[in-house]
Structure 1
């Protein structure tokens, strides 16, 4: 086997197994940082040995065994013993002789959900809970999470380190909370699952929003649907399943060359996912509680309805985005409302509606650029398109924005 094949196998294992391997490794002590370091060492060793000896029959089991051995080395080291009390045998809770016991396929979904609920513990700083879940469970690095939140990478990295130390210091148990605590933690879990999907909308080719189960978007969709199965009476859980299903339905039209939503061919959208999303949304709407994810799912339903009507209902979008900003005034919701206002009331009104404090938020710059262009302010539009392109992760999106900037720098 060559190095390229071995690297591809390791990357597949990282995409599909990172979160559940971390929770297995961290469960005995609650030390997420050690679990991640041990797993990182295991992946490095895989890249050294798999090209020569071949990919093992069960890559996850191999990685788990190597990472556990690394943990044992650290637990037995003098530096670790002087820093924290050493359990009688940390490995006793997870015997090395049967690493595959912890990889029961029937338990995969629940193990990932367990870690999500651990990271949503109220003892962890609220500002760090969702980023922590995105990193530990879905495997995003601090820089990618920072871009999604519109903050600096260094600040996000420090936030994540503090959160992991908090889990270890307070010995937060790795278990799904009881019904009494579930409601308190559920919003953070839903936010993280959606966050994992949302980054695929602005990420590079390796994060493209594909339905494939080994993609990041597929993982988020799986977790959302699993939560909807486990909690069928929670309207926001149903709303999240609807939101991701309806958005993912348009993934066939997302390709290397960026195509704006208004120019996508609705005939190429996935009708099965649209039907699934609409069914989840109807179930959520039957309750007397309205929340963020139901509103966002309704927005996606309006977009998907263009497949039936061939027109966009901008007034419905304004109503939904206005309600969303009241319920959950995120940067994304405020920017989307500004874009809709610009479409209905004119570009200057849209520019006035853009939120402050979004200097590192790529969609805000892209929206500003389009509104400036519509307002006839070409030079300013070129600058905004340039800035949006710099902040874009996806090469196709970046090319599109650079081309738009060039149009206004050289209007001929």
Structure 2
């Protein structure tokens, strides 16, 4: 009965999302031609529509997340590290341009699919991230996003099995394979402390297979690098091998390929693992304050590295409380509070 209720609820939510999509994309009037590919999922089809080149590049992925996947401007803003007002204006401008310029929306043909795939991959990944962040919460809408994102990635791989699509699918499968171990009786458990018996090893093996297939195409990209990092982390835990140096090397390549704040903080963490906390803090110090001020992972990492050094209790406490104050997840907040009270 519980399973049936869940399926009915998910079906109703999916129906509501489809209805909202129809209302939001009234300009959509695809004309089927022989060159147009058959896309097996209507949401994925509409995501390709939202990646129309006439739409501002910065608005394409947010537009997909709001119009097709039903995320609010506030949630989308958190993914792009901008204020909700800024994201709201960006989305409003994109919709106004669609309305006033009469952009012709149609499903792209085979020649155009490749040009739009990158934006679609970004939206799928952002959707997965929202669902991943909800692990342990009661927000059923956000919880369902992980399954939906993986499903959309599978459909996309069937449609166009390029290296980055395979890499993104591998990345999400690696992460999802550990989801059951991230919470134990409501308590947050970091990767290094997780019980690997709770991992879904068949899913991890599938992720490894997808990553290997992507590598064979010899078209390296961001999502493949992120998946490779996850692969190294999984292998390290399962085998006990010291793979910190390969992980650090991959983080360095990723930071060069996509120097986002998240990847740069990840590189700092990997640097600390290989060269010690001082080196990690040095990497963090190179990041501009405008990027790090409200970025929770920056403060969480800084606090833990300062705690390892045990030289400045005030700075350590300040960093911990900045991280705690920026944490929305109650279980993660409790974990950080517990870490902050440990003797330095």
TM range (shorter): 0.7 to 0.9
1:125 and 1:163 in contact (8 A); partners too: yes
Residue in 2 that maps onto 1:350: 280
Q: 1:22 to 1:109 in 2, by over 3 A?
A: farther
Secondary structure of the equivalent of 1:288? coil
Report the Cα distance in structure 2 between the residues aligned to 1:287 and 1:151, rounded to whole angstroms.
Answer: 35
Post-superposition offset of 1:207: 5.4
Counterpart check, 1:388 vs 2:323: yes
Which residue of structure 1 aligns with residue 335 of structure 2? Answer: 400
Aligned to 1:274: 204
Gaps of 5+ in 1: 1-6, 31-92, 94-106
Aligned match of 1:75: none
TM-score by length of 2: 0.86
Which residue in 1 is equivalent to 2:164?
Answer: 236
Three-state SS of the structure 2 residue aligned to 1:305 is helix
Structure 2 runs not aligned, ≥5 long = 30-37
Q: Secondary structure at the match of 1:329?
A: coil
Correspondence 1:123 to 2:43: no
Kindly state the Cα deviation for residue 171 of structure 1 after the two structures are TM-superposed. 3.2
User: Aligned runs of 1:300-311 on 2, under 5 Å?
Assistant: 300-311=230-241
Q: Supply the distance in 2 between the matched residues of 1:14 and 1:137 (Cα, whole angstroms).
A: 15
Aligned residue among 235, 244, 258 for 1:328: 258
Structure 1 residue 366 corresponds to structure 2 residue 300: yes
Q: Give CA-to-partner distance per residue, 1:232-291, whole Å, 9 cap, x none.
A: 2x1111111111111110011122311111001112110121121111111101112100
* Of 192, 207, 219, the match for 1:262: 192
Distance, in Å, in 1 between the alignment partners of 2:8 and 2:325 is: 30
Aligned to 1:16: 14
Instruction: Confirm whether residue 226 of structure 1 aligns to residue 224 of structure 2.
Output: no
Say if 2:65 and 2:71, in contact at 8 Å, map to a contact too: yes
8 Å Cα contact 1:317-1:340 kept in structure 2:
yes
Q: Deviations over 1:314-337 (max 9, x none)?
A: 111111111111111111111100
Measure, in 2, the Cα distance between the counterparts of 1:272 and 1:208.
Answer: 25
Rg larger for: 1
Indicate whether 1:194 and 2:125 are aligned. yes
What CA distance in whole angstroms lies between the structure 2 residues aligned with 1:10 and 1:382? 47
Match of 1:136 in 2: 67
Q: 1:168 aligns with which of 75, 96, 99?
A: 99
Structure 1 residues 383 and 201, CA gap change in structure 2 (3 angstroms): farther
What is the alpha-carbon distance in structure 1 between the residues aligned to residue 281 and residue 156 of structure 2? 38
Cα shift at 1:379: 1.9
> Contact 2:303–2:319 (CA<8 Å) still a contact in 1?
yes
Helix, strand or coil: the match of 2:206? helix
Distance 1:111 1:310 in 2: 44
Does structure 1 conserve the Cα–Cα contact (< 8 Å) formed by 2:41 and 2:152?
no
Cα distance per residue 1:21-55 (max 9 Å; x no partner): 3333344435xxxxxxxxxxxxxxxxxxxxxxxxx
CA contact (8 A) 2:56 2:94 kept: yes
Question: How well do the aligned residues superpose, as a CA RMSD in angstroms?
Answer: 2.6
